[in-house]
Amino acid sequence: MRVSESVALVTGGASGLGAGVVRTLVDQGGRAVVLDLPTSAGQEMADDLGDAVAFVAVDVTDPDDVARAVPEAARAHGRVDVLVSCAGISSGQRIVSRDGTPRPLEHFRRHIDVNLVGLFDVARHTVSAMTGNEPNAEGERGLIVNIASIAGYEGQIGQASYGASKAGVIGLTLPMARDLAVWGIRVMAIAPGTMDTPMLATLNEEFIDKLVADNIFPHRLGTPGDVGALVAHFMENTFLNGEVVRLDAGLRLTTN
């Protein structure tokens, strides 16, 4: 599919990686719908980018809200060709405290609800809309791009909740692609490394510097624009399917 002829729904699109995806696709002539919390800067972003962007408020952890918001988002530009799921949370916490007290179960449950269950819920409603698309010459009707993390492979101390949720996203990729092949809908995932986003604020500066130093090359933070460029490539290279692509400058996380 061509970026310039496509409409993308982007969860978490009002900030961070999601905003980078929206801006990249619009810069290349595409249209987008920002799906984000009512308290986000989604409407301001849509106002700033003009008619190519609409905003629909949603809480991805509320099934009724998702069931309302996705059809509304699909109507904003008359169709939906791509879903990019960037909505997510990351909060570090060890499984037990220093005195051996178990941490609240809610910390784990919240990460799974937002990063995995919410992602799946939005995807199933979006796929339902995509099935009505007229297939292109290759029989393609749509593309799903889920944002995972290298923490899903190499989670660090305090990342049990986050790492497990992102490992779930990674594990979802191939079976979802197999499930949706009959409709001509591809599924890809991106596992970003150390990215320059608000979520990075959960880590201390010394740890961030170490991670960047451990990049093979280049020795810099990744950017939302890097993610947006990869999404655009996924859209236009239809031979990519059922795969997780690490976007991490060769970084491999260790416990050292």
**213-242 pLDDT per residue, tens:** 999 999 999 999 999 999 999 999 999 999
CA dihedral 235, 74, 83, 54 (to 10 degrees): 90
What pLDDT was estimated at residue 106? 97
DSSP state at residue 116:
I
d(CA 220, CA 26): 25
Average of pLDDT values for 65-87? Answer: 98
CA atoms within 13 A on the CB side of 44: 8
SS in 3 state form for 168-220? HHHHHHHHHHHHHHHHCEEEEEEEECCECCHHHHHCCHHHHHHHHHCCCCCCC
Q: How does pLDDT run across 183-206, given as a tens digit for each residue?
A: 999 999 999 999 998 777 767 788
d(CA 124, CA 111): 19
**Residue 53 CA: distances (Å) to CA of 10, 97, 138, 171, 238:** 11, 45, 27, 31, 25
As annotated, the active-site residues are: 162
Higher per-residue pLDDT: 79 or 202: 79
d(CA 228, CA 41): 19
- For the whole model, what pTM was predicted? 0.95
What pLDDT was estimated at residue 88? 96
What pLDDT was estimated at residue 129? 97
Question: Could you tell me the domains of the chain?
Answer: 9-90+102-202+218-247 (3.40.50.720)
Q: How does pLDDT run across 97-142, given as a tens digit for each residue?
A: 999 999 999 999 999 999 999 999 999 999 999 999 999 999 999 9
- Pair 114, 85: CB distance under 8 Å: no
What pLDDT was estimated at residue 256? 61
d(CA 167, CA 122): 18
- Pair 15, 198: CB distance under 8 Å: yes
What pLDDT was estimated at residue 210? 80
Structure tokens at 70: 């996705």
- Pair 81, 6: CB distance under 8 Å: yes
